[in-house]
Each structure stands twice: as structure tokens, then as C-alpha cells.
Amino acid sequence: MKTWIPPERFLPYLTWKQVDALPRDRTLLVLPTAAIEQHGHHLPLATDTLLNNLLLGHALRKVPADLPIYALAPVCYGKSNEHVGFPGTLSVGRDTFAAVLRDLARSLVAAGFRRLVFFNSHGGNHSLLDVMARDLRDEFGMRTFCLFGGGAASGLDPQEAAYGFHAGEVETSLLLHATPELVHTDRYTVNYIARLGDPGVLKPEFASATFSWLTRDIAPSGVMGDPTPSSAEKGERWCDEMSSRVAAALQEMYAFREILER
Ligand SMILES: [Zn+2]
């Protein structure tokens, strides 16, 4: 798969002797977690995996060269059972996903590494990663961190900012910038699962009162948002802004000191 990770920041490109020479207590390892799942009629299944790599790759180029921060090979398959019934979606269950993360963490701990970031780009993984980050802190004494995507896209219409979270304007623009050959611009569909200003407190997402959903319940084409205003220019700008935020977060994680040791 296409990659933007700088080769010198990609841990699997090192030999074990080079890894053995890294400063164990300071090295920050970043595990990308993503998905292979439907993204409407117009975006590829690998959208979350590509966007994860795009933002992390650009972020790692913005981090000072002397900081020992490395990307691990990604966990491309995520918990995507909300997209069941859309062909090509490949989901792993919560126990499988958690077991993979735990086994990888145990391997890192056995090698003496202490600092691990989950850099996630798929919403369905999010709550499990929070659980695992705490469990690995408890079980192995690792210093774990969670980082979800690159934050808000500037200048977005409020409706799209609130409910354009899957194959909408942001993801489509980022891929128009990064892999335009994979975007079917003649096959956009528009679907909002809720509208700003809708009455009531019970919402499908982003509210204190929610109902659980499967995509087929709420989004027949698989899109949640409006990709129509997307452009490569917006994607390039958002890639720059988001990767700068990711780079800033990674540097704060690198510099993090335990509260009781400050
Ligand atoms: Zn996505």
C-alpha cells in the first residue's frame, strides 16, 4: 500500500541491532490503528488506513530529526462491524483486536520499550483503544497514549463539521489530495444521519444520549456526510494543518513526564 512514512522513521525498516541501540526509556513508538471498510460508492475500502498513513507520515517529517520517534507497521484491520453487509468490509472482533494490541505491547515491553502511542483513524476502534491503553498501563506499566486523527478541519460548514464523519468532505478531500486515482468523483452520494437543530436529546452520535446503530440502519449508500464540495486544494490544506497537530501531540507525548515525577 502507498506510504508517506519517512523510511528512517519506520521501525520495521531497521535491523534488530539498530533497534537494540535505541534509547529504550525515551523512544516513542507509534502504532497506527485503522480499518478496511466500506466508504460509500466513491472512496476505497482502505480510506482510513491511507489517511492514517498520510497524516502520520507528514507529522513525522515535522518532528525534529533527533527525537527517537518511530512508526510501527499498522494494524490495518479494525473493529468495523457497524459496516456489516457492505462487501469488502473486513472486521475483527473486539477480543481479536484487543488480543493483537496486547501481544504487540507485550513484545515491545519484552524488548524494554515503555512508551506507546495508539494513532487511530477509525471511530469504531476508539472506545476499545481507550480501554486497552489503560489496561496496558496497568498490566505492563507502559506509558500509553491515545491520539485520534488530526482534529477539526478548518472552514468546514457547521453541519458537515458535526455530522460529516464518514466518506464526507474531509475524508474525500484528503484522498483527492493524496490518492486522486482512487476517488470516484462521479459517484458521490449525500447522507446526513442527523441535522444540527434537530429536536430532542437522543442522537445517533456525539451526544450524551445515543442509540447504537449499524450503517445499514442509517446510511444506505454508506456515506455519512456530503462529499460534494470536496477538493484536492482543501485536502492539501487540511493535511498540513492536521499533520501539524499530530506532530505537536507526538512531541508532547515524547516530552511527557509522569505527574508524580514532575
Ligand atoms: Zn473513514
Whether residue 215 is contained in a domain is answered as: yes
Quick: pLDDT tens for 170-206.
999 999 999 999 999 999 999 999 999 999 999 998 8
**Ligand 1 centroid distance, CA of 25 (Å):** 34
**Count of domains forming the chain:** 1
Burial bucket for residue 245 (CB in 10 Å: 0-12, 13-18, 19+): middle
Cα dihedral sign, 197-201-203-208: positive
Whether residue 145 is contained in a domain is answered as: yes
Residue 240 has pLDDT above 90, yes or no: yes
**Ligand 1 centroid distance, CA of 19 (Å):** 32
**Ligand 1 centroid distance, CA of 76 (Å):** 12
**Ligand 1 centroid distance, CA of 109 (Å):** 31
Whether residue 14 is contained in a domain is answered as: yes
Residue 160 has pLDDT above 90, yes or no: yes
Could you list the residue range(s) of the whole structural domain that residue 38 is in?
Answer: 9-261
Whether residue 1 is contained in a domain is answered as: no
**Ligand 1 centroid distance, CA of 49 (Å):** 8
**Ligand 1 centroid distance, CA of 140 (Å):** 31
Whether residue 3 is contained in a domain is answered as: no
User: What CATH number has the domain bearing residue 131?
Assistant: 3.40.50.10310
What's the CA gap between 168 and 147, in Å, rounded? 21
Place of cell 530529526: 65
> Three cell numbers at 147?
491520539
Quick: pLDDT tens for 5-53.
999 999 999 999 999 999 999 999 999 999 999 999 999 999 999 999 9
* pLDDT score, position 47: 98
**Ligand 1 centroid distance, CA of 48 (Å):** 5
**Ligand 1 centroid distance, CA of 112 (Å):** 34
Quick: pLDDT tens for 27-38.
999 999 999 999
Task: Note whether 117 and 47 are within 8 A (CB).
Answer: no
Candidates 23, 30, 28, 36; CA nearest to 57 is 30
Confidence of residue 258 (pLDDT cuts 50, 70, 90): confident
**Ligand 1 centroid distance, CA of 162 (Å):** 15
Whether residue 237 is contained in a domain is answered as: yes
Residue 82 has pLDDT above 90, yes or no: yes
Whether residue 201 is contained in a domain is answered as: yes
**Alpha-helical segments (H) within the chain:** 16-20, 47-62, 94-110, 126-140, 158-163, 169-178, 215-218, 232-255
**Ligand 1 centroid distance, CA of 257 (Å):** 33
Q: What is the DSSP string of 250-262?
A: HHHHHH---GGG-
**Ligand 1 centroid distance, CA of 17 (Å):** 37
Whether residue 4 is contained in a domain is answered as: no
**Ligand 1 centroid distance, CA of 123 (Å):** 8
